[in-house]
Structure 1
Amino acid sequence: MTFTDDSAVRPSELAIVELPAGGVELAAYIAGKLCHDFISPAGAVMSGLDLLEDPTAQDMRDDAMGLIRQSARKMVAHVHFARVAFGAATTSEQFTSAELCNLVKGLAEGGRSTLDWRIPDQAVFTKAQARILVNLAWMTLGALPTGGSAVVTTREENGWIHLIGSAEGARARLKPEAMTGLKGERLVEGLAGQWIQPYWLWLAVSEAGGRLDVAAEEGRVGLIAALPT
């Protein structure tokens, strides 16, 4: 898989005021994505509670409790992930690799793809690096709609850290909206929900003074965020 200059995004060359989405518009897109992510597990919890309260469905009580537990875990996983990926997270300014791996694995639980996290548990990342890494890792997994392997690793050289995601699977791909976002371009057609996280990743790399490279070929997708250390 080759990363070419055509796929390279050098956002640090752009002033923030020139970015295609920001301020209230950007906040609205992110809020919409979070609501979309939260509504499914929250709705499943409510469905489980409804079953518990239904006198005609008492034989399904164990199933209802299982649904509630599973959905509650998924909801908590989304919240923990979103605090780092989209929010200010905690007062902590640094995160270990193990912490970030658990955030991504919490969302991936039960999915079709496997996550191969090849970053030493003790490796430490700044808040900005952590935000970029978890978004990049989750997008790498998202490039495998029918299953496959997502490998996440890092490399440091010449004062730069490279955060690398590689997806390999039978139908590995990035949707057109995702490619638009990864280039830092405004969405003109397609689904905003498929665009906002890739665009947010591009913007996070931009504000860190880095560059984002994307490569895609049949069955393989690669993402590299290069950041100054």
Structure 2
Amino acid sequence: MMTERTAENPIAELSPENLAALLCARLCHDLVSPVAALGAALSVLDDEDAADMRDDALELVRESAKQAQAKLEFARLAFGAGGSAPGMIDSLELKRLAAGLFNTVKPELVWKVAAPSLEKSAARLLLNLCILGIESAPRGGTVTVEATESGGGARLRVLAEGMKAKIDPKHAAALEGQKPDDGFDGRSIQPFYAGMIARSAGGRASASSSEDRVEFIALVMNPAQAAA
């Protein structure tokens, strides 16, 4: 649910260097698995006594390289400049990036984005909400991604549904700008960053949950209105 900020419940502040360090930690965590698998497969290929495992090792190389590429391309826009130039991101490109990431996880992607393109901050936020949707359904299910756009901005919705689908209350609070009692880490920083994108664009983001269901809603103003 959306919550109103008060003096007792302020938006958390984080230094740029700490934000960058925590996001880097998150990115490294996401890439450890496919890169480690690559290393293991190459070790098998180097072992002359493991000739019978060569085909399996080659398949692991191909699959791990594909996963690493998908995660890097996704992160380039979700966490980085993603082409650096401001402007609109084609929804077909966003779908391609999301589909690549979903190929590495259990939940299935249901893409229902109506907007033909999204302004870069909205696009970056949508991808970050996809990450939250995936993490909310660790046992599988579906993650439905929606986005509509009007002259005033964009409305984004990601719905995770599946067995035991839920969100850590600390992550839901971080999405709305609250600092966890034990401080940020590589996991809680990502929802905080997602909410920060929304707030920087004059909008907001929140999460609500019920049994086997987590819904993320975000509103983002267009750049002209956000600056007004």
Match of residue 96 from structure 1? 90
Provide the residue aligned with 1:226 in structure 2.
219
Gaps in structure 2 of 5+ consecutive residues: 223-228
Comparing 214-223 with 184-193, greater Cα deviation is found at 184-193
Deviation of the 1:160 alpha carbon? 3.6
SS of 2:187's equivalent?
A: helix
How many residues were matched structurally?
219
CA distance in 2, matches of 1:175, 1:187: 11
Q: Which structure is richer in relative contact order (CA contacts within 8 A, separation 6 or more)?
A: 1
Code of the aligned partner of 2:175: L
Q: Is the 8 A contact 2:109 2:144 kept in 1?
A: yes
Q: How far 1:58 sits from its partner (Å)?
A: 0.8
Matched, 1:42 2:42: no
| One-letter amino acid matched to 2:107 | S
**Which residue number in structure 2 is paired with residue 3 of structure 1?**
none
Shift of residue 94, structure 1, vs aligned partner: 2.1
Among 110, 118, 125, which residue is 2:112 paired with? 118
Higher mean displacement: 91-100 or 184-193: 184-193
Structure 1, unmatched stretches of 5+, are 1-6
User: Residues 138 and 165 of structure 2 are in contact (CA less than 8 Å); yes or no, is this contact kept in structure 1?
Assistant: yes
The TM-score normalised by the length of structure 1 is 0.88
- Aligned-pair Cα RMSD in Å: 2.3
Q: Percent identity?
A: 34
- Pick closer, same or farther for the CA change 1:67–1:191 going to 2, 3 Å: farther
Looking at structure 1, the residues matched to 207 and 29 of structure 2 have their Cα atoms a distance apart, in angstroms, of 26
Shift of 1:110: 4.4
Distance in 2 between residues matched to 1:126 and 1:160, nearest whole Å? 9
Given that residues 177 and 190 in structure 1 are in contact (C-alpha distance below 8 angstroms), is that contact kept between their aligned partners in structure 2?
A: no
- Do the aligned partners of 2:91 and 2:117 also contact (CA within 8 Å) in 1? yes
TM-score (norm 2): 0.88
Q: Note if contact 1:115-1:141 (Cα within 8 Å) is conserved in structure 2.
A: no
Q: One-letter code of the match for 2:210?
A: E
